[in-house]
């Protein structure tokens, strides 16, 4: 009990210091308009863990397209790269399934090419023997009023549920829409991997206001930090209580 409280206190201190560092990074970004590499390291929480990061879509597959033309594949990759920096500085081994605008299919037929792409991602992820598999996506919905990030897990994965709820609690700090992590058995990635896996939908490109935010480097960094914080809380066993608006 006392060990848990001690770990929780240490993590809280780290979060505060990290936010100070990242806050300074935001100021530098505004002055230079470049993405900073100055990110915090939580090596004693996540050091030695293997994290596989899958930036959804890419190449011929743009994913969702925003109201103003923003491509999901680009948003996914930018946030994934920021997560890569955070985990690397924390001492984690990071496996990036893609680090550029590409897909992993070769067929001229789009449906077959998508199958090849997903098969490659699953195979590579399984070979990584990752402690955590993060699939990064952006959402879209006919009702353009919908907004807010949401995390999904496979219903048969208890640890996936715990991880998803922890990340969701951190992401809810960024939005007035307090969503709840949801079970989903239709996501190809979630139902075809035996590791702790979640899909993070970082927001709705179908919402004009959220689309604009998702293009901002400052907000992309905040999303990455929230995901990172949620995984840190999961690593020390903290279990948040979530409720719908």
The three-class DSSP label of residue 100 is coil
Summarised one tens digit per residue, pLDDT across range 87-96 is 999 999 999 9
Q: What is the pLDDT of residue 22?
A: 44
Q: What is the pTM of this model?
A: 0.82
Summarised one tens digit per residue, pLDDT across range 184-202 is 988 888 888 889 999 999 9
Q: What is the pLDDT of residue 83?
A: 98
Among 92, 86, 99, which residue's Cα sits nearest to residue 49?
92
The three-class DSSP label of residue 218 is helix
Q: What is the pLDDT of residue 27?
A: 33
Q: What is the pLDDT of residue 55?
A: 98
Query: C-alpha dihedral over 19, 24, 26, 32, to 10 degrees?
Result: -160
Query: 10-residue block means of pLDDT along the chain (245 residues)?
Result: 48 49 40 38 76 97 97 98 95 96 96 94 92 97 97 96 97 96 90 91 98 98 96 85 58
Tokens 């999961």, residue located: 234
Q: Could you give the domains of the chain?
A: 2-235 (3.40.630.40)
Q: What is the DSSP letter of 221?
A: H
Among 95, 12, 21, which residue's Cα sits nearest to residue 53?
95
Among 122, 164, 127, which residue's Cα sits nearest to residue 50?
127
Q: What is the pLDDT of residue 8?
A: 53
Residues in contact with 239: Cβ distance below 8 Å, sequence separation at least 6, in sequence order: 162, 165, 166
Q: How many CA atoms lie within 13 A of 51 on its CB side?
A: 30
CA–CA gap between residue 47 and residue 94 (Å, rounded): 11
Q: What is the DSSP letter of 61?
A: B
């Amino acid at each position: 009990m006392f060990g848990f409280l001690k770990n929780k206190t240490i993590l809280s201190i780290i979060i505060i210091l990290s936010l100070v560092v990242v806050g300074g990074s935001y100021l530098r970004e505004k002055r230079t308009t470049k993405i900073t590499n100055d990110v915090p390291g939580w090596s004693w929480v996540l050091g030695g863990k293997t994290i596989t990061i899958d930036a959804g879509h890419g190449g011929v597959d743009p994913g969702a397209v925003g109201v103003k033309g923003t491509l999901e594949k680009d948003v996914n990759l930018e946030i994934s790269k920021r997560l890569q920096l955070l985990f690397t500085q924390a001492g984690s081994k990071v496996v990036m399934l893609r680090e550029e605008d590409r897909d992993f299919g070769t067929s001229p037929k789009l449906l077959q090419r998508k199958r090849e792409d997903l098969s490659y991602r699953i195979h590579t992820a399984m070979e990584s023997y990752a402690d955590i598999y993060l699939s990064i996506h952006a959402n879209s919905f006919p009702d353009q009023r919908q907004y807010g990030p949401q995390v999904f897990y496979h219903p048969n994965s208890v640890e996936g549920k715990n991880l998803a709820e922890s990340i969701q609690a951190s992401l809810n700090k960024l939005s007035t829409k307090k969503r709840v992590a949801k079970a989903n058995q239709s996501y190809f990635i979630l139902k075809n991997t035996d590791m702790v896996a979640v899909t993070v939908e970082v927001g709705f490109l179908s919402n004009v206001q959220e689309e604009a935010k998702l293009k901002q480097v400052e907000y992309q960094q905040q999303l990455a930090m929230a995901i990172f914080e949620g995984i840190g809380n999961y690593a020390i066993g903290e279990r948040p209580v979530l409720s719908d608006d």
